[in-house]
Amino acid sequence: MVNLIGTYECKVDAKGRLMVPAALKKQLTPVLQEGFVLKRSVFQPCLELYPMEEWNEMMKKINGLNRFKKKNNDFIRRFTAGVKTVEVDANGRLLIPKDLFGFAEMDKEIVLSSAINIIEIWDKDKYENTIGADAEDFADLAEEVMGNDEFNGIS
């Protein structure tokens, strides 16, 4: 399992390529050869970059869904819509396919943000607006998600 750290600002060229920052590339070194899967985020207007090993783990979970339930089939279809395999080329660049670039409504300035085992790819302005949401809202969210005793191993 990869545990990624950091937030990086990048620029995208006219062909949709971004230079992976050296600090992030160093963290990804163990998984660079396996490649990545790039997909639409479920909850936000951004993209998610999965190292192949992480994607395969996710697919094991999804493959366990009963496909004879319509909602499961609908979820699988929507979750995998637009999914692409991508690689970091010899020059350290990653190509974002046009359809995914359009989905995330990205401009030339983007942000790569670590999200534990994946990387979120955001339009810079959208990222700043999302992160800059009310600090009190985040405090309430943190308490709700992390403040319960079950999370801390107390039952």
Tens-digit pLDDT profile for residues 101-150: 999 999 999 999 999 999 999 999 999 998 887 666 777 877 888 887 66
What domains lie within the chain, and their CATH numbers? 7-125 (3.40.1550.20)
pLDDT digits (tens, 9 = 90+) for 12-61: 999 999 999 999 999 999 999 999 999 999 999 999 999 999 999 999 99
- Residue with structure tokens 């496909």? 67
Structure tokens at 52: 């192949």
Burial tier of 106 (Cβ tally within 10 Å: 0-12, 13-18, 19+): buried
For the entire predicted model, the pTM comes to 0.88
- 3 state SS of 106: coil
DSSP summary character for residue 88: B
